[in-house]
Structure 1
Amino acid sequence: MYSETRAAQMAAFMLQLHGGRMPYLKLIKLMYLAERKAMELWGESITGDSFVAMRHGPVLSQTYDLIKAGSRYPVEKGWEYYVKDEANHEVSLARAVDEDDFADLSLSETDILESIFSEFGAKDQWQLVDYTHDGNCPEWRDPDGSSLPIRPQDIFMALTNDMKKTTKLTDRYRENLQLKEQKRKIL
């Protein structure tokens, strides 16, 4: 289940590491790589977003929509609370942030964000596009001007190259989503 709040905190964390501003294409690539790392380590997504292949590589679908158009149904402390649109296809922090602003992210999740930023933060958005296209994210397929869904099992298969492990990880991923949905309904 998608969490705009967690996506916004994740984006704000990355923006803070980058000095408060960056091209949105770079941000969405860093966020995808962090989600992919979480899937590799835990078999779970940080934001609950769905994944799509687009011309410039894989992206987080609902987060991409937030970057492009903002929130249709704003949530308290959601996207606009943390991130604002800037000129020249850039985004920036909407306000000063501190560690309390990342309360919905676990220490392990912020460790992933720091690790991804450490590895890829110095690259520009086009180097990240090339990285995702050059076989480093084999779950991405050229959508030929459109977009194509990337299923969790596609990511797991790309990470493990083992059908048995992929099936187990996909089943666990779906079970976790169902548990989160049931918990949300109870609350």
Structure 2
Amino acid sequence: MTNFDSKKLTELVLYILCKTGGVDFYHVFKILYFAEMKHLAKWGSGIVPDEFCALKYGPVPTHLYDAVKELGHSRMKLSEELSEVVQFAGEDAPNVLLPKRDANVDFLSKSEIDVLDQSIIEHESMTFGQLMRKSHDAAWDEANRRVHGTNVISPISMAKVMNADEAMLEYIEEQMQIEAALR
């Protein structure tokens, strides 16, 4: 993960926390997942500089999940950055994250803010069970059923869930090939 990716991911989380007043990290992950899907289907690009993996309780942005688990221990760059701007609410709400400062929206485009706002409105008040059921979609199922290989959820599968047309799916595939070639 590049330094810019780490900063962008931090600002995405802060944006959600500032808009909601603080939510548990499960809600943060799902708000990001659904915003990612919408942006992929409409614009052909993701907003989250992380891979979503199909885990038991639904899609999780891998690096962000690891960073949240490390908060306060500062073993990785992203968790160090997050711990400077995010804190756990405390003993009464040990999984709730609170912002320590406002998000720097210079890291977010207008289209990214739009899908984040939509996702926050749709998902912040959903229960754990409702979010789990909704996020166990065809993209999650495809990645979860893989016997060999990775449980990374394909951006193409995510866009398909949002009914992206064939031209958009081809565009996403081309962008993925370009990114892979540049690595």
TM-score, scaled relative to structure 2: 0.78
Task: Tell me which residue corresponds to 1:156.
Answer: 159
Identity %: 22
Counterparts of 1:96 and 1:168 in 2: how far apart (Å)?
37
Question: How far is 1:10 from its partner?
Answer: 0.8
Counterparts of 1:96 and 1:165 in 2: how far apart (Å)?
37
Task: Tell me which residue corresponds to 1:12.
Answer: 14
Gaps of 5+ in 1: 183-187
Task: Tell me which residue corresponds to 2:106.
Answer: 103
- Verify: 1:90 aligned to 2:96, yes or no: yes
**More deviation, 40-49/25-34:** 40-49
Counterparts of 2:111 and 2:27 in 1: how far apart (Å)?
22
| C-alpha distance 96-48 of structure 1, shift in aligned 2 (>3 A) | closer
Contact conserved, 2:41 with 2:168, CA < 8 A, in 1? no
Counterparts of 2:110 and 2:168 in 1: how far apart (Å)?
27
Counterparts of 2:110 and 2:170 in 1: how far apart (Å)?
28
Counterparts of 1:74 and 1:80 in 2: how far apart (Å)?
10
Query: How many residues get paired?
Result: 172
Task: Tell me which residue corresponds to 1:138.
Answer: 138
Counterparts of 1:170 and 1:6 in 2: how far apart (Å)?
23
Q: Deviations over 1:76-108 (max 9, x none)?
A: x93223222344222211x131x6x22211122
Question: How far is 1:161 from its partner?
Answer: 7.2
Counterparts of 2:49 and 2:83 in 1: how far apart (Å)?
19
| C-alpha distance 23-12 of structure 1, shift in aligned 2 (>3 A) | same
Aligned-residue CA RMSD (Å):
3.0
Q: Deviations over 1:40-77 (max 9, x none)?
A: 111111122112100011121111111222453326x9
| C-alpha distance 162-47 of structure 1, shift in aligned 2 (>3 A) | closer
TM-score, scaled relative to structure 1: 0.76
Contact conserved, 1:9 with 1:82, CA < 8 A, in 2? no
- Verify: 1:121 aligned to 2:124, yes or no: yes
